[in-house]
Amino acid sequence: MTKNKKPKVFVGMSGGVDSSVAALLLKKQGYDLVGCFIKGWYPGGLPCEWKKDRRDAMRVCAKLGIPFITIDAEKEYKKEVVDYMIREYKAGRTPNPDVMCNRHIKFGIFLKKALKLGADYIATGHYVKVSGSKLQAARDKNKDQSYFLWVLTQKQLKYCLFPVGDFTKPEVRALAKKFGLPTAEKRESMGVCFLGEFDIVDFLKKYIKSKKGKVMRVDGKIIGEHEGVMFYTIGQRHGFSPGGGVPYYIVAKDIKRNILLVSDKAGEKEFYKKEVEIEDVNWISGNPPFQNKIYKARIRYRQPLQSCKIKNSNKIIFTKPQRAVTSGQSLVLYDGQEMLGGGIIK
């Protein structure tokens, strides 16, 4: 970078308020910006709003007076996120596609293409903070997205800016209104990264054949039928009941026999786990955490942090047994505000 040249930042613009304000903040800090809409893969038959989102991103860029480009990540998204998701469900696991979207798309292909096009950094609207080589939870605990970023490495992190990590969601909305951004009132986007809100079971049925099976109580009594164990997840509540309105929770899945094992709330505790093994492990610093120290971890997004220790860098031992430990989900470890990394539950 030559002297006096402003650092060039490619901002991932989703068409939402968070990424819009991320661009606004960077503009005010004097960066040379390029707004980038990342085009994913969108299945036919789903109500997909990507064209509207792209238009909104373009309108924000026009308001800010910055150039706008579209980054095509369709092929990579289909392979690394959608195919991965289908493969995991077929195997009876419950994947987290948002994590893989971050690994392969936002901080994979987008980062790679941005650097190739002359970027010094990339930025996103994630609620998370960077402090040197460390990734930290956002100031807004209700919006913190560090759980989805445990896959990041030092190689990626050195190019990343997260401008909204020090703001609360109401503050972000207020900034968008104050500066007249077109996305100021846009509602929160939910659902799967890029795909948005849709019925996951309906989507999976296009790729995975339904196969009726038995719903069995832990005492061996058959109390219902299901459409295939792949479409269900541990901890899910269902009205499988012979009468009386007792709620049952899925506590185990027998993939080979295509049986869902369910229990009432009291019996569910027998299936809680204190020890959880993880694979595909990534520690953000490059070094595993200390073995004899008490850390905090969560096994699902928004779960309150739980005390634990780590053993052999891939076994987490919780102080209290954990409900609904689900194969395929992410376990993420924290040391105070710092997010250390994590892995996929075996």
Look up 101 and say whether it is catalytic: yes
Q: Which pair of structure tokens corresponds to residue 243?
A: 């009468």
Q: If 0-12 CB within 10 Å is exposed, 13-18 middle and 19+ buried, where does residue 105 land? A: buried
Instruction: Yes or no: say if 219 and 235 are a contact pair by the CB < 8 Å rule.
Output: no
CA dist 16 and 53 (Å) reads: 7
Q: Catalogue the E-assigned strands of 148-271.
A: 160-161, 213-217, 222-226, 237-238, 248-254, 259-263
Catalytic residue among 36, 160, 193, 308: 193
- Neighbour tally for 309: CB within 10 Å: 17
Distance of CA 180 to the CA centre of its chain: 29
Give catalytic status of residue 193 as yes or no: yes
Question: Environment class of residue 199 by beta-carbon count within 10 Å: exposed (0-12), middle (13-18) or buried (19+)?
Answer: exposed
For 31-78, the DSSP string reads -EEEEEEEE----TTS---HHHHHHHHHHHHHHHT--EEEEE-HHHHI
Q: Looking at the DSSP assignment, which residues form a beta bridge with residue 332? A: 298, 342
Give dist(CA 78, CA 72) in Å, integer: 12
Contact assessment for residue 111 and residue 1, using Cβ atoms and an 8 Å cutoff: no
Cα dihedral 185, 186, 191, 194 sign? negative
Please identify which of the residues 61, 101, 160, 308 carries the catalytic annotation. 101
What are the residue numbers of the active site?
Answer: 101, 193
